[in-house]
């Protein structure tokens, strides 16, 4: 049924005032949602990827340039995010690759709590990102991770590409954004 997703919308033929009231209510809901996110997670830093190495059937640690912005209690190192105190983070990651043929790009989260890095198997993401070597050869994945860390804990992200042929990381478009929960 057309318009079925508009469950609170006024019926067809209702007055302009009824439609305007509906739109105002929906816009208020959207604004409230953005305010909740803004109040829940801030401040933020963003960093660009720095590695353009081979990931065709190989796992590679994603590396980062100097971040723009800062997050209290969190340090971005070249290849990891380190908690300087107990924190809850929301991590947005965009990982781009250029492949020659069909490719499935995977991003995995690894955690080091003092004994070395181990894969957090609940924090992985994959998608087919390219199909040919010419017209559809670039693609990416955009996972979002919520991470709770204790002081001294580190997380890093690694890319792996199941590829028919070659696949390399792209620095252009590979981005890490980290936000801290305000209620820590």
User: pLDDT tens digits for 39-65?
Assistant: 666 678 899 999 999 999 999 999 999
Of residues 94 and 132, more confidently modeled: 94
Residue written as token pair 């070249």: 78
Q: What is the mean pLDDT of residues 138-147?
A: 85
Q: What is the per-residue pLDDT across 103-136, written as a single tens digit (0 to 9) for each?
A: 888 999 999 999 999 999 888 888 877 766 666 6
* Average pLDDT of span 144-169: 92
Do the beta carbons of residue 67 and residue 173 sit within 8 Å?
Answer: no
Q: Comparing C-alpha atoms, which of 14, 17, 12 is closest to residue 1?
A: 12
Tens-place pLDDT, residues 6-23: 567 777 777 878 777 877
Contact between 107 and 89 (Cβ < 8 Å): no
Least confident of 83-92, 118-127, 152-161: 118-127
pLDDT given at position 34 = 60
Task: Find the mean pLDDT for residues 30-46.
Answer: 71
Q: Average pLDDT over the chain, rounded to whole?
A: 84
Q: What is the DSSP secondary structure assignment for residue 24, as one 8-state letter?
A: H
Picking from 138, 62, 135, the residue whose alpha carbon sits closest to that of residue 93 is 62
Domain annotation for the chain: domains and CATH numbers: 42-181 (2.60.120.40)
pTM for this predicted structure: 0.75
Confidence tier at 2 by pLDDT (50, 70, 90):
very low
Cα separation of 48 and 33, whole Å?
Answer: 28
């Amino acid at each position: 049924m057309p318009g079925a997703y508009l469950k609170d919308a006024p019926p067809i033929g209702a007055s302009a005032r009824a439609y305007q009231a509906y739109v105002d209510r929906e816009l208020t809901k959207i604004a409230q949602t953005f305010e909740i996110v803004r109040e829940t997670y801030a401040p933020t830093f963003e960093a660009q990827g720095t590695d353009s190495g081979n990931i065709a059937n190989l796992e590679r640690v994603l590396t980062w340039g100097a971040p723009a912005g800062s997050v209290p209690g969190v340090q971005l190192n070249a290849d990891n995010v380190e908690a300087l105190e107990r924190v809850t983070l929301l991590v947005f990651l965009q990982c781009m690759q250029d492949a020659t043929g069909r490719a499935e790009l995977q991003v995995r989260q690894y955690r080091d709590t003092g004994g070395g890095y181990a894969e957090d198997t609940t924090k992985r993401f994959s998608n087919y990102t390219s199909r040919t070597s010419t017209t559809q050869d670039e693609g990416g994945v955009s996972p979002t991770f919520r991470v709770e860390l204790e002081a001294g804990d580190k997380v890093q992200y690694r890319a792996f590409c199941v590829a028919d042929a070659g696949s390399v990381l792209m620095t252009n478009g590979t981005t890490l954004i980290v936000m801290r929960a305000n209620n820590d």
